[in-house]
Amino acid sequence: MRFVCLAQGRREDVAGRQRRIRCGTVQSAAGLVLSAALWTMGACAQTAAKQVMQPADLVNLRTVAEPRISPDGRRVAYTVLTPAASSMPRNEHIWLVDTDRPMSQRPFVASSGVDTAPAWSPDGKHLAFLSNRPNPLTQAGSPFRFKLASGKYPADIPLTLVAAENVTAPAAAPGPKAAPADPKAAPPATPLKAEAAPEAEPKDMQLWWIAMDGGEAEPLTNLPGGVRSFRWSKDGQQIAFVRKDAASEDERGRVQRKDDREIVDHEYHYDRLWVLDVAERQARLLTRSDQNVDAIDWSPDGRSIVARVSPSPRLDDYWRVSKVMIFDATTGAQVSVIEPRSGYQQPLYARDGARVAFSRFSARGITDEHYVRELASGKELRLEDLVKGTVSEVRWLPENLLLVSSYVGAHTEAHVVDVAKHTARVVPALPVSALELDASLDGKTFSFVSETATQPGEISVWARDKAEVLTSTNPQVQGWALGAEREVQWANPKDGTTVYGVLSLPPDYTPGRAYKTVIHLHGGPEEAFTVGFNATWYNYAALLASWGYVVLQPNYRGSAGQAIAFTEGNYRDWGGGDFDDVMAGVDWLVKQGIADPNQMAIAGWSYGGYLTSWAVTHTDRFKAAMAGAPITDVLSMATTTDIAPSYLDSYLGPLTGQMAEYDRHSPVRSAEACHTPLLILQGDADVRVPLLQGSELYHALRFFSRETEMVTYPREPHIFGEREHQIDSLTRELAWFAQHLSAESKASTR
């Protein structure tokens, strides 16, 4: 699945308290499990040899990610995330598997902390990674070393780290963006003393490496604020990394004295570009001006670094107001701006350094288009002219070849593009769900994560026109009752638009019977459901199907998977053509004799929550609904979300002079027309779609005496992270549907 716009961004962690609001009664999660279990007795009976998937089963699935193939193509390093109780530390570590020995997976880098972001050195002799494990560089007499090159540094950098031959006072700049005068006089500043210099916080991720021929992992950095991301130089002698500004001594003192405050849109902590000399264990700050740097890559000659750069770390700037810049890798000077309207894609140098792959936002600013530019001539190649669907990832191969992954309809494809000849060929024999592709140095072997309807994500390899699964991470799935899955398509009769989607069927599905059905809507809206193992907290079609539902997941207009015109097809039309696409899919299911028209529910998170809210206020065809983190009042969303103003500006036009238009697309304005029992779920700490959005619709429905329930979860941002909350929310949704839909399917009348 492609996560963009509403679902994409950094996690916020704000304390809150749980509120379970329902008109009439309050139920416990345990009670919901019991009632739901009773409802599924029939389903359990027909799948006696298999276990019906439970919410805890889904949430407890281990997740593999970040497959990085070694330069020689012989091994893949990857991460395994094992869910744990929210009171326990995050359990994510690095594993290895041999590409010529399936099922040879074994833990390789593990600690009491988190170990992630594996990256092979160019010679394949070391694996660098990020970890927040205890760092011996913080201890006196450590056998390891790390220092900063001589020079001036911001006030958050300990003087004890700076090379002794030229220790200078902290620089006045770079620092926080100038703020309006604070009416409260600041106390005298306390001089920064070397002996009182702050150490990196235990939670900070630092850069480490480990030799592949044996030995223990060694720390490479110890900087306050930690390391966010990094990239090896092509010769392996340097590592560029991104570090976020940490709090200065003055800022820390204010917090301790309870004299702290936050001036909105000021006093930023920027992501800055640094370079580490690996042999000397010495780092230097490369970008000193106040700009936010991310998504970096080295030129092959090591003389420059290309990056996405935004004017501030605000999320809206980070994703939608960025440029693609080239920096001098020695001085940090800005060499050129390749693209003033950067899209989401990480810019990448070609193997010969003559070209850069990047993306730019379309004219409307809804999605991005992908290009390869010849640096000498400025000539560009638009990848969407050669590759179908929505481009998701690119990787350079030798001889000016580019590996391009894309979403097509409701599956994935990969192409090898010859950027000199402007041709593309499909990579044969890849499974229909292949994500996170990486390539060996010779470009002949690829690693990736593959899925099927009955296999969660596993590390896989492609070589010599053959793909093979290498790992087995969740063998317990073999005992679950899982149904078949199909990629399907239908036409919207109003304008003939072709719509793709994923159809999930219950175990032991019987043709000729019409089943209770859930229409499950994705967020974004520029996302796409694809065939695969659809069993995550956010995408749980396999769970619903295991409980006896037919599930349709439509990629309505506005989704990824088709041409850019389709992705931008809901421009100034939220709740219009996209809603019609969804309902055309409902009609198609009923006509096929698959869905019982009297036993249907609808659900979705984020923009899927918006469309769910729109559906229940514009049709009575659904017997129950769940809206997760829904946009219900577009006007108040525009003025409170953390992705303002660019997100809604791009879809609905600038707010200035458009308030009536924003209202016209707001489900809450039609609350009186809702007669569908609606469950609303939302995180207390959601700054993407603030809690106000769900609350507005909930209270509006109560004014009109409609059946509704709202449950909120403390500390949770837009995408839930705590295991217990994920289980609770899924359990409540299952129980809500069980309460309002009968347990029986009926013979089709088709």
Summarised one tens digit per residue, pLDDT across range 459-493 is 999 999 999 999 999 999 999 999 999 999 999 99
Amino acid at 361: F
What pLDDT does residue 539 have? 96
Reported as a pLDDT band with limits 50, 70 and 90, residue 51 is: very high
Residue with token string 């090898």: 416
Percentage helix, strand, coil for the chain under 3-state DSSP, each rounded to 5: 20, 30, 45
Strands 455-463 and 445-452: antiparallel
Taking 80 as the threshold, does the pLDDT of residue 175 lie above it? no
Classified as helix, coil or strand, 637 is helix
**Which of 677, 678, 681, 688 has its CA nearest to residue 647?**
688
Average pLDDT in the 110-135 region? 96
Closest CA to 149 of 267, 273, 280: 280
* pLDDT, tens digit (0-9, with 9 covering 90-100), for 202-239: 589 999 999 999 899 999 999 999 999 999 999 999 99
Confidence check: pLDDT of 589 > 50: yes
| Residue 579, pLDDT score | 98
Q: Does residue 90 contact residue 130 with C-beta atoms inside 8 Å?
A: no
Give residue-wise pLDDT tens across range 328-346.
Answer: 999 999 999 999 999 999 9
Query: Band of the pLDDT at 190, cuts 50, 70, 90?
Result: very low
Q: Tell me the pLDDT of the chain averaged across its residues.
A: 89
What is the residue type of 489? Q
Q: How far apart are CA 303 and CA 700, in angstroms?
A: 60
Torsional class of 634: left (φ above 0), alpha (ψ -120 to 50), beta (otherwise)? alpha
Residue 185 has pLDDT above 70, yes or no: no
Contact in structure between 655 and 685 (CB atoms under 8 Å)? no
Residues 596 and 514: beta-carbon distance below 8 Å: yes
pLDDT level of residue 560 (50, 70, 90 thresholds): very high
Q: Given this model, what pLDDT does residue 189 score?
A: 30
Domains by residue range for the chain, with CATH: 5-58+479-647+677-741 (3.40.50.1820)
Lowest-pLDDT range, 159-168, 362-371, 588-597, 636-645?
159-168
pLDDT at residue 219 in the model: 97
Task: Report which DSSP code applies to 347.
Answer: P
Q: Is 44 helix (H, G, I), strand (E, B) or coil?
A: helix
Average pLDDT (522-551) is 97
Task: Say what the pLDDT of residue 277 is.
Answer: 98
Coil, strand or helix at 64: strand
What 3 state SS string does 678-720 have? EEEEEECCCCCCCHHHHHHHHHHHHHCCCCEEEEEECCCCCCC
**Phi and psi for 261 in degrees, rounded to 5?**
-160, 165
Task: Please tell me the distance from the alpha carbon of residue 343 to that of residue 360, in angstroms, as a whole number.
Answer: 4
Residue 569 CA, chain-centre distance (Å), reads: 23
